[in-house]
């Protein structure tokens, strides 16, 4: 069971916030694939970006406070991930309607 916010340590609170943003990203990502009305879809994509930005801000705080250890990724993995993200972005912007 989750502790009340006023009884959580900084690490517990930041971890909870980080996980909540991650869950919101999942929910918006799942939902955006089911919406075909452009204005609503655009809002949902902006919400995904906002949640991702907040999640990264929380991650940076955790990193700066020594609450999370980050490992350097191999450049090959970074390139492959960037290509996958670019492809996904293209699919979100111009979905194949065939």
Question: Across the chain, what does the average pLDDT equal?
Answer: 87
Question: Cα–Cα distance between 83 and 69 in angstroms, integer?
Answer: 25
Residue 6 pLDDT > 80: no
In a domain, 5, yes or no: no
In a domain, 32, yes or no: yes
Domain that holds residue 39: 10-93
Residue 15's pLDDT is: 93
Mean pLDDT for the stretch of residues 33-60 = 94
Mean pLDDT for the stretch of residues 39-65 = 94
Residue 89's pLDDT is: 82
Look at the chain and report how many structural domains it folds into.
1
In a domain, 98, yes or no: no
Q: Is the whole-model pTM more than 0.75? A: no
Structure-block tokens of residue 77: 């993995």
Residue 19's pLDDT is: 94
> Do residues 13 and 5 touch, judged by C-beta distance below 8 A?
yes
Question: Cα–Cα distance between 95 and 89 in angstroms, integer?
Answer: 10
Residue 16's pLDDT is: 93
CA dihedral of residues 84, 86, 87, 90 (deg, nearest 10): 160
In a domain, 59, yes or no: yes
In a domain, 75, yes or no: yes
pLDDT band at 5 (very low <50, low <70, confident <90, very high): low
């Amino acid at each position: 069971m989750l502790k009340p916010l006023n009884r959580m340590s900084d690490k517990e609170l930041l971890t909870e916030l980080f996980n909540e943003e991650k869950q919101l990203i999942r929910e918006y990502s799942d939902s955006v694939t089911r919406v075909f009305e452009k204005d609503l879809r655009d809002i949902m994509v902006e919400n995904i970006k906002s949640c991702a930005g907040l999640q990264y801000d929380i991650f940076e705080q955790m990193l700066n406070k020594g609450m999370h250890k980050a490992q350097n990724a191999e450049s090959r993995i970074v390139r492959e991930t960037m290509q996958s993200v670019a492809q996904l972005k293209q699919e979100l912007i111009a979905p194949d309607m065939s």
